[in-house]
Chains A and B, each alone.
Chain A
Amino acid sequence: DIQMTQSPSSLSASVGDRVTITCQASEDISDYLNWFQHKPGQAPKLLIYDASNLEIGVPSRFSGGGSGTDFTFTISSLQPEDIATYYCQQYDNFPRTFGPGTKVDVK
């Protein structure tokens, strides 16, 4: 199985701050990577697909990059509504695997 790691596991930042999360795959997954936002009590929501493509309707403050084994997810200006856990997921191989998540909080 492809192992996905994320760092940090949690972070707290101020409104307006730039926030970056990293995701690393245990082997080359090209750009077959999604980023999801998961708020408590809600279904997870797709933000980024194919590592760097913004899903329709998602605010432009969210962005993704990387390929191969190393990926980044950035919120350019953190907003209060961005409080959530963020997961990366690879879809290069079965079983599909998720990172352990990064919990984002606002100071």
Chain B
Amino acid sequence: QGQLVESGGGVVQPGTSLRLSCAASEFTFSAFGMHWVRQAPGKGLEWVAVILYDGTNKFYRESVQGRFTISRDNSKNAVYLDMTSLRAEDTAVYYCLRDRVSYSARPSGTYWGPGTLVIVSS
């Protein structure tokens, strides 16, 4: 399954930006789609975005479309989530996920990192 470790979380003010990173190891990173999923305090799981294994296709949930950008660097085994115009409702633990199947045309996001907490508050 490999290892995923998120970083970059913290406390930020509304309207500001933040970059989350996810370092991957112990698997062939360039072969797998990567996702971000979040969980707001006391709430359920909410899928945020996915980038396919080769970076050619990206999909977002509507509430972050235009504000968040997912990207990857296969040479560094890393995936990123650039978040701008942050809102209080973006406060959550953000998890990085890897697909179960390599080169998947139907990315599902199945193996999770431990998460990083983002708090948006003035």
Spell out A's residues near B (CB within 8 Å).
Answer: 1, 32, 34, 36, 38, 42-46, 49, 55, 87, 89, 91-92, 94-101
Are A43 and B113 closer than 8 Å at their CB atoms?
A: yes
Chain B interface, >50% SS class: loop
In the complex, the chain A residue whose C-beta lies closest to that of B35 is A96
**Which residues of B sit under 8 angstroms from A45, Cβ to Cβ?**
112
Q: Please report the number of residue pairs spanning A and B whose Cβ atoms sit closer than 8 angstroms.
A: 56
How many interface residues does chain B have, given as a range?
20 to 34
Bound together, the chains give a CA A87 to CA B37 distance in angstroms of: 13
With A32-B106, A96-B108 as given contacts, are A89 and B45 in contact (CB-CB < 8 Å)? Answer: yes
Kindly state whether residue B50 has any CB partner on chain A within 8 Å: yes
Are A46 and B111 closer than 8 Å at their CB atoms?
A: yes
